[in-house]
Amino acid sequence: MSTATTTEAPSTYTFSPETLSAVLAPGANPPRPSALSASVTFGWRAMLKIKHVPEQLFDVTAFPIMMTLMFTYLFGGALAGSTTEYLQFLLPGIMVMSVVMITMYTGIAVNTDIQKGVFDRFRTLPIWRPSTMVGYLLGDAFRYTMASTVILLVGLVLGFRPDGGVLGVLAGIGVLVAFSFAFSWLWTMFGLLLRTEKSVMGVSMMVLFPMTFLSNVFVDPSTMPGWLQAFVDVNPISHLVAAVRALMNGGWDTGAMTWVTVSGVLFTVVFGALTMRLYNRR
Amino acid sequence: MTEFAIETSGLVKTWGDTRAVAGIALAVPAGAVYGVLGPNGAGKTTAVKMLATLLRPDSGNARVFGRDLVREADAVRGLVSLTGQYASVDEDLTGAENLVLLGRLLGHRKAAARERGARLLDAFGLTEAANKQVKNYSGGMRRRLDIAASILNTPKLLFLDEPTTGLDPRSRNQVWDIVRAVVAHGTTVLLTTQYLDEADRLASRIAVIDHGKVIAEGTPGELKSSVGRGAIHVRLRDADQRGKAEWVLSEALSAPVQLDADPVALTARISGHETERGAAEQASRALVALAEAGITVDDFSLGQPSLDEVFLALTDKPATAQNEEVSA
Ligand SMILES: Nc1ncnc2c1ncn2[C@@H]1O[C@H](COP(=O)(O)OP(=O)(O)OP(=O)(O)O)[C@@H](O)[C@H]1O
Ligand SMILES: [Mg+2]
């Protein structure tokens, strides 16, 4: 990628009406793309952005590695006696925490994009309206998958040996990515609602810190005071952690899975609807 | 009966205390360039965004090819295409990627989108830059890509919001040529501009807007003559007689005479605040004087003042007073 502006040699472009007329020659316009096709196309755009600005993947690699190392060694000895033992408990949780944290970049991406003219062009296209937003989420789902993979690899190196085997781990990651996809509608809404990138960031932190820390990621909630337990018990992140942990350990937690599914659907319906309202209003 | 691409009445959009668009009525005939001329902050972008379904009007009605702007927004989107004031392409992607992206969103299959994109890049002289990120394009290249993106599917109505602002004269000429070619293909173009000569050259009708209101509307000719001053353009049979004609005209009109680039043409301004009738009288006096001096006149026209003068004359005065005077 060069940063120099391409300067036009004075002779490069001479307009020829014939060439343009040939291109404009009336061919019937194709039928509109399906909702799926439009969404996938926007997802492709997100992937192209990753290709052109690969630095943005730093967030989904370095940050999770740091979290995993930090918490394993910080709490491992104190909480479980040994880091390897603690890792079996912690890794699914830290994976959930990191990926859920990363979801906030969705809001920032939406917010920076809407300042630009290209967003206006998308909004004048005769396509399924939510497809622009679904496209962001599809691109983000790729990032979530990457972050999960990175954490899994770091975990394996550190001694994480899940009982669920390959299938259990894949199922766990699948549930995590699916929930994060649904959860991200919260951020598309804030991305459209708030004026600046900074405020999107601020709100994200306000929501994400309590949601991720006040959960069962680090310790078993039974050690917590009652009022805190009450919050932890309704926090969807706790249930997500429980579900992912169970899957990776070769089990199945019906209660947690139900919670995760219901809250995922609620996030999509409620915040998806609010997002589209804002999208159409702007 | 004229088919109208756009018909609006009482269109209003308010931002807080600012009435950006304060009741605009437009009737844009199909198949030509319609110019919307106005200074910074006149409300051009706001009006265009409403007509392109990006902003919901606070009140008023608008139809695009008979489709209601608000209730049939989706149908309108199928007819229009917008090149916004600020680049409406993705700066992070390459030119080719931008066109494939939009081609896909317009329903083309991948191969067709690629092919169509490549042909447009070629027609717009961007083949070499096809695989460069748009953020590295020059202003002119960016504009051309932006317009190319708007005509991937030939739209019935194309909005160009200040398409030449910030371009050098050469790039501006290229954009003008492109606009003419697009209109020749039957697309209606609504073009906003701050440049009077641009509206004059491209548009067959112009609405002058200021403070969110249409203060004048008509053909460039009507607008100019409404101001009531003008010039006489004379074409001589013989270039050798031009020196003499210049002298005769300046005597007859007691006004400065200007020699045009064409060696047989000259222009004499009609000075002062003449009425149109006065201008016609002066013109006939000048023609008689030329004939008496033995100068053969091939062609003659009672020209109009430049749009520049129209604009200043209109915007210097309060908009309300102007409304009665000019809109016919
Ligand atoms: N999103 C907005 N929020 C608040 N005020 C706005 C907004 N958009 C436009 N305005 C105001 O509305 C008025 C008209 O703006 P608009 O952009 O339509 O003018 P314009 O004719 O396109 O000007 P320019 O030639 O500078 O592009 C201005 O006073 C502007 O400050
Ligand atoms: Mg503008």
DSSP A28-96: PPPPPPPHHHHHHHHHHHHHHHHHH-GGGGHHHHHHHHHHHHHHHHHHHHHHHSSHHHHHHHHHHHHHH
The answer to whether residues B80 and A124 touch, using CB atoms and an 8 Å cutoff, is yes
The dihedral built from the CA positions of residue A192, A56, A260 and A94, taken in this order, carries a sign that is negative
Residue B318 has pLDDT above 70, yes or no: no
Provide, as residue numbers in chain B, all residues whose Cβ is less than 8 Å from the Cβ of A192. Answer: none
Return residue ranges of chain B for CATH 3.40.50.300: 4-225
Q: How far apart are CA A277 and CA B60, in angstroms?
A: 22
**ipTM associated with this complex:** 0.86
Provide, as residue numbers in chain B, all residues whose Cβ is less than 8 Å from the Cβ of A49. Answer: 92-93
Q: How far apart are CA A59 and CA A51, in angstroms?
A: 15
> A142: which 2 tokens?
């790729």
Q: What is the b/e burial string over B62-72, where b = at least 16 CB atoms within 10 angstroms of the residue's CB?
A: bbbbebebeeb
* Structure confidence by residue, pLDDT tens digits, B146-186: 999 999 988 999 999 999 988 888 889 989 999 999 999 88
Least CB-CB distance to A33: which of B56, B78, B104? B104
**β-bridge mates for residue B269, sequence order:** B231
Q: How far apart are CA A239 and CA A259, in angstroms?
A: 6
Question: What was the pLDDT predicted at B128?
Answer: 92
Q: What residues flank ion ligand 2 with Cβ within 5 A?
A: B 44-45, 85
Q: How far apart are CA A182 and CA A10, in angstroms?
A: 51
**Is A203 domain-assigned?**
yes
Asked if residue B14 has its Cβ within 6 Å of ligand 1, the reply is no
**Smallest CA–CA distance from B89 into chain A, residue:** A118
The domain total for chain A is: 1
Contact A26 B185 (CB under 8 A): yes
Question: What was the pLDDT predicted at B328?
Answer: 33
Which residue owns the Cα nearest ligand 1 atom 29? B41
**Is A227 domain-assigned?**
yes
The dihedral built from the CA positions of residue B270, B275, B279 and B281, taken in this order, carries a sign that is negative
Return residue ranges of chain B for CATH 3.30.70: 231-304
Q: What is the CATH number of domain B231-304?
A: 3.30.70
- Give the domain extent around A253: 34-281
**Is A4 domain-assigned?**
no
Residue A259 three-state SS: helix
Provide, as residue numbers in chain B, all residues whose Cβ is less than 8 Å from the Cβ of A26. Answer: 154, 185
Q: Give B307→chain A minimum CA distance, Å.
A: 27
**Smallest CA–CA distance from A50 into chain B, residue:** B92
Indicate the range of A75-79, A100-104, B262-266 predicted with least confidence: A75-79
**Is A109 domain-assigned?**
yes
Least CB-CB distance to B123: which of A12, A20, A52? A20
**Smallest CA–CA distance from B118 into chain A, residue:** A23
Question: What was the pLDDT predicted at A116?
Answer: 85
Provide, as residue numbers in chain B, all residues whose Cβ is less than 8 Å from the Cβ of A20. Answer: 123-124, 178, 181-182
In the structure, what pLDDT confidence band is assigned to residue A245 with cuts at 50, 70 and 90? very high
* Structure confidence by residue, pLDDT tens digits, B65-122: 999 999 999 999 999 999 988 888 999 999 999 999 999 999 999 999 999 999 999 9
Q: How far apart are CA B104 and CA B92, in angstroms?
A: 18
**Is A112 domain-assigned?**
yes
**Is A18 domain-assigned?**
no
Q: What is the CATH number of domain B4-225?
A: 3.40.50.300
Which of A23, A44, A127 to probe the B interface (max B CBs under 10 A)? A23
